[in-house]
Amino acid sequence: MADRWLVFGLGNPGDQYAKTRHNIGQMVINYLASNSKFTSHKSRTEIADIYLGQIPLTVAKSKLYMNESGAPLKALADFYKVPVQRVIVVQDEIDLPFGAIRIKQAGGDNGHNGLKDITKHFAGPDYFRIRLGVGRPSGPQAPADWVLKPFSTAEQKELPDFIAQSAQAVECLIEKGLMQAQQEFNS
């Protein structure tokens, strides 16, 4: 049996946020676990245990708000004894156009409060990130307001394919490693 991976989708709890740009990470988690049932975990997360071939994955989403993601993720990693080198955070990224995917390990938080909190709780940024482009507002709208809005009608038509491709990026990173995943998905 291979070592477990932990895949964590950033987002906010509650129906009012479920279909917003900020919750695309959780949408990918829901897709990955579409044949499984989520259960509540003492780490203040909802989790599903799945397999990628013989590789066990725990996919998770926090019950807390985005800027409080670090403590639940760290508690879950500690519970399963998953080192930071096998933690993947799936996140929204306003500095990428809608539909773009970038895979990386470590690096800055680019002002993303979810990443700031995770980096603080892990005492460093060494986890993997699947950065999913949600675009920037075209007008004077604040980015914080923009990411809490639903996707446009045109984006909603493309969203199922984008989520499926993002899930494939997660799987490729686990199965083939960072360099191969970057070659295949960093558009």
What pLDDT is attached to residue 143? 84
| Sheet of 45-52, strand order | 39-41, 45-52, 55-62, 5-9, 87-93, 128-133, 101-105
What pLDDT is attached to residue 1? 54
Residue 176 has pLDDT above 80, yes or no: yes
What pLDDT is attached to residue 138? 82
Residue 98 has pLDDT above 60, yes or no: yes
Q: Which residues are catalytic?
A: 22
d(C-alpha 54, C-alpha 149), whole Å: 38
Tens digit of pLDDT for each residue in 108-128? 988 899 999 999 999 999 999
What's domain 5-185's architecture?
A: 3-Layer(aba) Sandwich (3.40)
| pLDDT over 90, % of the chain | 90
So where are the chain's domains?
Answer: 5-185
Tens digit of pLDDT for each residue in 19-66? 999 999 999 999 999 999 999 999 999 999 999 999 999 999 999 999
What pLDDT is attached to residue 18? 93
The strand pairing partners of 87, in sequence order, are 6
- Average pLDDT for residues 78-106, to the nearest whole number? 96
What pLDDT is attached to residue 142? 86
Smallest CA-to-CA distance from 21 within 148, 153, 109 is with: 148
The strand pairing partners of 131, in sequence order, are 91, 102
Per the prediction, the chain carries an average pLDDT of 95
